[in-house]
Amino acid sequence: MSWTTTEILETLRMTEVEHLDIRTITMGISLRGLTGGDAASAAQRVYDRVSERAGSLIETVDRLSRRLGIPVANKRVAITPVAVAFDNLGRDGLVQIAQALDRAAANVGIDYIAGYSALVDKGSTRGDEDLIASIPEAIGGTERVCASVNVASSRAGINLDAVAAMGRVIKRLAEATRDRDAVGCAKLVVFCNVPEDNPFIAGAFHGISEPETVINVGVSGPGVILDTVRRAGKADARELAEQIKLTAFRVTRAGELLGRRVAADLGIPFGIVDLSLAPTPEPGDSVGEVLKAIGLEDVGAPGTTAALALLTDAMKRGGLMASSSVGGLSGAFIPVSEDAAMVSAVQKGHLSLEKLEALTAVCSVGLDMIALPGDTPAETLAAIIADECAIGMVNHKTTATRLIPVPGKTVGDVADYGGLMGQAPIMAVSTLSPARFISRGGQIPQPVTGVRN
Amino acid sequence: MSPRPDSDDIRRRVKRQLGPDATTEMVESVVRRVEALSDGSGEDLSTDLRSMPPEQKDAGGDRLIIAVFGVNQPGIMAGVSQILSRHRCNILDISQKLMQEFFTMILVVDLTGADTTFEQLQQDFDKLGNSLGIKIYAQHEDVFRALNRL
């Protein structure tokens, strides 16, 4: 096979100059078949299974990543929703499972393990209720375990009782980790239409229709896309979309290549590539910067929603052409804390919670890493979750919230988490009360477009 | 001479070389030839590996693309080819061009039969690049294929 100079230079530019990397390679592990006996013995079996299956994950990914010259930022594990696998253990038993997961994650050398989860969009079992009630203790008392709860779907509607419960759980989790700016809440995601194969922490879990073990890949690439947009110069919108699409193709191919090699080496199936643009606090690795490069004075300016729609759709087109194994969230993440340009826009007053909500309608995933005043009432948190669920439910897309009411802090303060999570400026939230609405409880019926067949 | 490796060791190494898409039959046939070769009764192995269908070789093929950029000066091509020859890497293709005072060179190199790893080669290239003040990029051919071809 012969190579043209253009192909060689394009590839080298992406890998060597623009530092193309893969955001995460996540191993999904089924925890089914581990029940029976008391909580302590179930917890030991959980520890053993995760340790055994993920034992060589890091070594394998690192070796193949060096061989192909494509760095991988994170190696992580997702597990069967714990409320599904262990619905009979009761609240204290579930906390023991969380602790076993924490130890297993440390043992195999990963920073996060996700799947302390429940799926309650149409109603809760006793096990689901136990798990939700245990979250403040389970997540507040562990370092590496991440939780998620799916409270709504386009098929079932919005479980308003679960939404209200999540508002209260978030408050208690914030209180449980108040000495570290409520960092526990950064490890809890509330979803509508949660995908079962999302490789991105904190909302990952190993869905109940997944195989025993699987490798999923989350691509990254804001830096590479940023460079593409800058090089496109004054291209019109269609040409700009075309350029982003071509770059997305390449990024996806790199992710799938590495993911398939890792899966083959470990002897397990390859699952999906998630085409999400995932920023980090590193300069230039920012979705906000991409939006600015498209032509906005700052994120939050009128036009931000349209620019984000252009960006995410172009990403998807390139990715879908590149791989027939696309899944997960496949959107653009606009977390406020992990993206330097987003943080700056909030601090300058250019980006409000309401504008962020609008952006989530055009395919960013949701209100992610939003730090709020510590005295925000539980009903207000629940109502923000309900709004986000409504956008996802009606538009048949995944939406999520990661809200952090930081105890003792208010607008103008900053919550600092360090590392990948970065800094989160406290955002202003409306003080109008939704309490009477939230306290109605019950189920918001699915939209008419949710009744399909 | 190094001690004779056992069959399992050979099998593992052959599997590694042929990559994830190698069938059991392919592995076994190569292992038989290696064993025959070390008995002194077999034919030359290298020709057999090279005559494999390209898609099988490419699947886990060990080919690198090396790009060299820098201010033209004596010793660039010599340095690069010395490293390759020292490690028994086979140059399959080479194109070289001077753009004003800039030297550019792109090589396609086969690592089958080489006595080194990709990482070791990269380290050697980094050392050479630093000493000459030039940039040498080595990247696996699989990456180029994945990023550029349907």
Interface probe for A, chosen from B148, B149, B150 (most Cβ of A below 10 Å), is B148
CATH number at residue A29: 3.20.70.20
Residue B45 has pLDDT above 60, yes or no: no
The pLDDT value recorded for residue A156 is: 97
A-B contacts (CB, under 8 Å): 62
Q: How far is B3 from chain A (nearest CA, A)?
A: 27
8 Å CB contact of B58 and A1 = yes
The pLDDT value recorded for residue B48 is: 40
A62 in contact with chain B, both atoms CB, cutoff 8 A: no
Q: What is the mean pLDDT of chain A?
A: 94
Q: Where are the domains of chain B?
A: 7-147
The pLDDT value recorded for residue B49 is: 37
User: A291 and A305 in contact (C-beta within 8 Å)?
Assistant: no
Cβ under 8 Å to B: A residues 195-254: 250, 253-254
Greatest mean pLDDT range, A189-198, A281-290, B4-13: A189-198
The alpha carbon torsion through A247, A13, B16, B47 (nearest 10 deg) reads 110
Amino acid at site A392: G
- In tens, the pLDDT along A394-450 reads 999 999 999 999 999 999 999 999 887 889 999 999 999 999 999 999 999 999 999
Residue A35 has pLDDT above 50, yes or no: yes
Q: Nearest residue of B to residue A6 by CA position?
A: B148
Q: What is the mean pLDDT of chain B?
A: 77
Beta strand pairing status for B102-110 and B90-99? antiparallel
Tell whether domain B7-147 is in CATH 3.30.70.260. yes
A71 in contact with chain B, both atoms CB, cutoff 8 A: no
Crossing angle of helices A237-266/A222-231, nearest 10°? Answer: 150
Crossing angle of helices A222-231/A287-294, nearest 10°? Answer: 10
8 Å CB contact of A254 and B137 = no
Give chain A's domain count.
Answer: 1
The pLDDT value recorded for residue B20 is: 65
B69 CB neighbours in chain A (<8 A) are none
The pLDDT value recorded for residue B58 is: 39
The pLDDT value recorded for residue B35 is: 64
Q: How far is B39 from chain A (nearest CA, A)?
A: 31
8 Å CB contact of B143 and A68 = yes
pLDDT: which is higher, B29 or A158: A158
Query: pLDDT band at residue B52, thresholds of 50, 70 and 90?
Result: very low
Q: Who among A11, A264, A265 is closest to B139 (CB)?
A: A11
8 Å CB contact of B147 and A3 = no
ipTM of the complex: 0.77
Query: pLDDT band at residue A193, thresholds of 50, 70 and 90?
Result: very high
Per-residue CA distances from A100 to A39, A49, A113, A115, A169 (Å)? 10, 11, 11, 13, 22
Share of residues in chain B with pLDDT > 70 (%): 67
Interface probe for B, chosen from A4, A60, A65, A68 (most Cβ of B below 10 Å), is A68
A257 in contact with chain B, both atoms CB, cutoff 8 A: yes
pLDDT: which is higher, A84 or B59: A84
Residue B55 has pLDDT above 70, yes or no: no
A11 in contact with chain B, both atoms CB, cutoff 8 A: yes
Average pLDDT over residues B6-27: 69
Q: Give the tokens for residue A373.
A: 């005043």
Interface probe for B, chosen from A253, A268, A270 (most Cβ of B below 10 Å), is A253
A12 CB neighbours in chain B (<8 A) are 67, 137, 139
B140 CB neighbours in chain A (<8 A) are 67-69
The pLDDT value recorded for residue A252 is: 93
8 Å CB contact of A257 and B143 = yes
8 Å CB contact of B65 and A256 = no
- In tens, the pLDDT along A6-34 reads 888 888 888 777 778 899 999 999 999 99
- In tens, the pLDDT along A140-176 reads 999 999 999 999 999 999 999 999 999 999 999 999 9
Average pLDDT over residues A270-274: 96
Average pLDDT over residues A53-78: 94
- In tens, the pLDDT along A213-227 reads 999 999 877 889 999
Average pLDDT over residues B123-132: 94
Average pLDDT over residues B4-23: 68
Residue A294 has pLDDT above 60, yes or no: yes
Query: pLDDT band at residue B150, thresholds of 50, 70 and 90?
Result: confident
Average pLDDT over residues A238-246: 96
A66 CB neighbours in chain B (<8 A) are 118-119
**What is the domain range of residue A386?**
1-453
8 Å CB contact of B137 and A16 = yes
Query: pLDDT band at residue A1, thresholds of 50, 70 and 90?
Result: low
The pLDDT value recorded for residue A292 is: 97
Average pLDDT over residues A116-128: 98
- In tens, the pLDDT along B78-122 reads 999 999 999 999 999 999 988 888 899 999 999 888 888 888 898
User: B80 and B105 in contact (C-beta within 8 Å)?
Assistant: yes
Q: Who among A7, A67, A250 is closest to B118 (CB)?
A: A67
- In tens, the pLDDT along A309-364 reads 999 999 999 999 999 999 998 888 888 998 999 999 999 999 999 999 999 999 88
Share of residues in chain A with pLDDT > 70 (%): 100
| Cα gap B138→A256, rounded to integer Å | 21
Q: How far is B21 from chain A (nearest CA, A)?
A: 9
Average pLDDT over residues A237-256: 94
